[in-house]
Amino acid sequence: MDERIASPGAGRSVTDAPGPVLAVLRDIHQRHLADTSGTVASYIPELATADPALFGIALATADGHLYEVGDAGHCFTIQSISKPLVYGLALADHGRAFVLSKVGVEPSGEAFNSIIFDERTNRPFNPMVNAGAIATTALIRGDGLAARFGRVRALLSAFAGRELEMDERVFLSERETGHRNRAIAWLERHFGMIDERLDEHLDLYFQQCAVLVTARDLAVMAATLANAGRNPLTGRRVLAPEHVRDVLSVMHSCGMYDYAGEWSFSVGLPAKSGVGGGIIAVLPGQLGIGTFSPPLDDRGNSHRGIRVCEELSDRFDLHVFAVHPPATVIRQQYRDGEGCFRHRRNDSEQAALAGCATAIAVYELQGDLYFATVERLLRAVQAEFPDFAFLILDAHRVGRIDSSARRLLTMLLEMLAAAGKPLLLAGFPEEAVAQLLQPGEAWPADTFFASAETALTWCEDRLIAGGSDG
């Protein structure tokens, strides 16, 4: 294994040095501490022993910073919060198309233990209700219960960044009393949605639900999703980004049972709750939240957990549909000749360059490159297209370059090449260069330069050589 499993409390916690973020968490925790609404789940007898007073909040940033208050280190069973993560494992095991043939992605508007299936396809509605989760768990590969649970536990541990254990008593308690889930599994067997290892699938499902976590673990799990599947504490990739996208999609539409619509309206974060009292919520690219408070509302969601997430979303403006318009991508734009490099040339070179002062267009870029910012850049380039012979994109201030930006830049390269105008990429981060050099994409040798200056020199050399040729 290529991971460092961190112990609980690993990561850079700032619990002892309160700053504005921790101050807000403490304030929220304090104001909801006395709220005793809700009832601890008791349909799994062992869960009824939970102390209703326990209350913890943790927030982990997508780069691995932890904030925590209250009982954020107290262990409880993950229950349904395992569902989206195990769904990710099923996607990794079988691919999207196959998993979709077994479990839908439609919000059911039903309670978590609903026994209703999609009548047209006989599939459970989605992987977040028990029926869909049992069918998802049935897809987990492995030879026998122990091996399969080993894989599930390894996955959940990698998400949390530490080795997680299972609560044997909660597992056995649900195994003995989970008749409704057993009935769901039999129906799925009847419809041919799960294979004959019905008891094994159910045991695996009950075991995954009985894995012990803390609110801190939940925040790290959520931050791993926020970080596109790479655990920000261990640096380990847990799930591929395309599976994370699918997981977040179902969390967004179905994660909070029959409260999912209202939740996505008011809180606006992909989330999942569990009857153990936990909730995770994810703001993609930014942070993960984990809350723990055992008393549940009548929909099976942690009462105080919901209040906390509502308030955090409100106070930090975390709603995924809060629109952040794209930042300015072109920091400055100039032509060689306006720059300061030509004075290094000797007299005859300067003379050769004098006639073509504006042949080299330089765009200094900043921020992230994705569809909206690259599209703006392309429009600016297109407007100037007739006037330049060389185009230099200077990216030394650029951050992330996504796949859409890479595709558009490749197309720009091809268009310019067809017009006989070289495109030079200067100061692109090494990782971006590696990504741009995807197999099959033929970038000319003279495309990548360490800096705008070396790229300009290359263009000038061509102009000088061209001038003396002619």
Pick 250 or 361: Cβ nearer ligand GLU = 250
Pick 112 or 449: Cβ nearer ligand GLU = 112
CB-count exposure of residue 134 (10 Å: 0-12, 13-18, 19+): buried
Determine, following the binding rule CB under 6 A, whether residue 291 of this chain makes contact with ligand GLU: no
Cα angle for residues 7, 13, 19 (degrees, 5° grid): 165
Q: H or E segment at 289?
A: strand 287-292
# residues contacting ligand GLU (CB under 6 A): 11
Determine, following the binding rule CB under 6 A, whether residue 365 of this chain makes contact with ligand GLU: no
140: left (phi over 0), alpha (psi -120 to 50) or beta: beta
Determine, following the binding rule CB under 6 A, whether residue 173 of this chain makes contact with ligand GLU: no
Window 124 to 153, contacts with ligand GLU (CB under 6 A) = 130
Decide: 257 and 300 in contact? Cβ < 8 Å. Answer: yes
Mask of contacts with ligand GLU, 50-89, x by CB under 6 A? Answer: -----------------------------xx---------
Q: Whole-number minimum distance, CB 38 to ligand GLU, in Å?
A: 14
Pick 205 or 388: Cβ nearer ligand GLU = 205
Q: What is the CB neighbour count within 10 angstroms for residue 379?
A: 9
Closest CA to 8 of 172, 219, 152, 268: 219
Determine, following the binding rule CB under 6 A, whether residue 112 of this chain makes contact with ligand GLU: yes
Determine, following the binding rule CB under 6 A, whether residue 46 of this chain makes contact with ligand GLU: no
Window 405 to 424, contacts with ligand GLU (CB under 6 A) = none
Residue type at 103 in one-letter notation = V
Q: Whole-number minimum distance, CB 274 to ligand GLU, in Å?
A: 4
Phi (first) and psi of residue 66, to 5 degrees: -110, 135
Determine, following the binding rule CB under 6 A, whether residue 47 of this chain makes contact with ligand GLU: no
Determine, following the binding rule CB under 6 A, whether residue 174 of this chain makes contact with ligand GLU: yes
Pick 62 or 221: Cβ nearer ligand GLU = 221
Pick 236 or 304: Cβ nearer ligand GLU = 304
Closest CA to 252 of 275, 274, 269, 267: 269
Pick 112 or 448: Cβ nearer ligand GLU = 112
List CB contacts of 321: < 8 A, sequence separation 6 or more. Answer: 268
Mask of contacts with ligand GLU, 192-211, x by CB under 6 A? Answer: -----------------x--
Q: Whole-number minimum distance, CB 130 to ligand GLU, in Å?
A: 5
Per-position DSSP letters for 51-66, written without gaps between them: -TT--EEEEEETTSEE
Determine, following the binding rule CB under 6 A, whether residue 300 of this chain makes contact with ligand GLU: yes
Q: Whole-number minimum distance, CB 80 to ligand GLU, in Å?
A: 3
Closest CA to 391 of 417, 428, 355, 427: 417
Query: Residue 208, SS3?
Result: helix
Considering only 275, 306, 356, 381, the residue that binds ligand GLU (CB under 6 A) is: 275
Q: Whole-number minimum distance, CB 275 to ligand GLU, in Å?
A: 4
Pick 204 or 312: Cβ nearer ligand GLU = 204
Pick 120 or 179: Cβ nearer ligand GLU = 179
- Residue 459 CA: distances (Å) to CA of 31, 361, 363, 389, 449: 64, 10, 14, 9, 11
Determine, following the binding rule CB under 6 A, whether residue 181 of this chain makes contact with ligand GLU: yes
Decide: 145 and 200 in contact? Cβ < 8 Å. Answer: yes
Decide: 70 and 56 in contact? Cβ < 8 Å. Answer: yes
Residues that bind ligand GLU (CB under 6 A): 79-80, 112-113, 130, 174, 181, 209, 274-275, 300
